[in-house]
Amino acid sequence: MKGWRISCAVPPRLCALHGHQERQKEAALTIPTLPHADSPDWTALPKVLLHEHLDGGLRPQTLLELCRARGISVPAEDATALAAWMHANADSGSLVRYLLGFSLTVAAMASAEACERVAFEAAEDARLDGCVMAEFRMAPLLLEPHGLSGEAVVEALVSGLRRSALPSGLIVCAMRTDSPDETLRAANLAARYAGKGVIAFDLAGAEHGFPPTPHAKAFARARDAGLGLTCHAGEADVGSRVLEAASIGPRRIGHGVNIMRGDSAEQTADWVAQAKALGLHFEVCPSSNVHTGAATSIATHPIGAMVEAGLSVSCSTDNRLMSGVTLSHELQALHDQLGLSLTQVGQLMRNAAIASFLPASACETALQAMQRWDEATAG
């Protein structure tokens, strides 16, 4: 493991993935803690996952096996050490180190069989963590340089998700660092599978310097196909990017934490008021935000202020492998470290169910499960 290096350069498109910025801090390996004996049973809480990248959520053992099958060098000899390496990269404060992990996972997934396996296991892991429905996302065109067509990727991912008993759907991502013609091509791909397992369209990638407006045609194409719209915004760029994204269609925002950081209290209040008037929902991923520098700690994470301001907010994991978390862990951390009440944590999950792009019947079933949990724990 010592001295390991990835032998190839990180692809330029992948270097923009997820908009992570470098932070000036020492790398630190922070392994999530387990609940205390007297804590609520976080796994038993019915949960809804809205924001999870499939290429950031592989099981460590699966990643190890897929890499070995394709002859890809890995930085560790066993799954536990590989997971620790991936998490150290995510929490290193270095964008380059962070993206080394994604160069590995994308290369490992470069077959239809691998994509199907990864999707199936992601759904099963969410189900075992207490999720009652989930949405997963990926940018299929990232696998084209590895010889796999976008259509093949989508079909394999949808097939994998359908193998699980968990109600779920796929969000197709485009990369904002690509040209508008390229993001329109991703939207056309998503539209082709609307009603066939694809439920929404997203714009991801390096945010700073790459605003959403040039990609308005891609969002219009996805909207016309009946797909839900979400957009990464206000994570690595200013809070006004949230409203800019909303102006071209999305009513869900990935992260969006900088909406609470205007240049003045008045500006922040104005941004919040506009977001509420538009009915925006924020898919917030606390641990990932800490690892990428969008927040300094869980204890000071803007999600608390967002909840207090009355915004519609949910909690997700973003990249379970990279951040070393589960949704149960994220909710526990918000309760234990940020001080959200159990009622507030439960409301995050209700918000997620209401905002989901999955069919209304699945959302209603999820809300009913939450109500039963409330009644059982209240007694």
Q: 222 to each of 172, 291, 357, how far by Cα in Å?
A: 10, 31, 13
Q: Which residue has the tokens 């949808």?
A: 158
CA atoms within 13 A on the CB side of 335: 20
235, 266, 283, 364: the catalytic one is: 235
DSSP-derived 3-state class of residue 318? strand
- H helix runs in the chain, sequence order: 60-70, 79-90, 95-108, 112-128, 150-163, 180-192, 216-224, 240-246, 265-278, 286-292, 303-308, 320-323, 327-333, 342-355, 360-378
Q: 159 to each of 146, 196, 254, how far by Cα in Å?
A: 20, 10, 25
Edge-to-edge strands of the sheet including 198-204?
A: 47-49, 131-138, 168-175, 198-204, 228-233, 252-255, 281-284, 312-315
Q: 255 to each of 64, 101, 125, 261, 314, how far by Cα in Å?
A: 30, 21, 22, 13, 10
Q: Is 22 a catalytic residue?
A: no
Phi first, then psi, for residue 75 (nearest 5°) are: -85, 10
* Residue 362 neighbours by CB distance under 10 Å: 18
Q: Which residues are catalytic?
A: 235
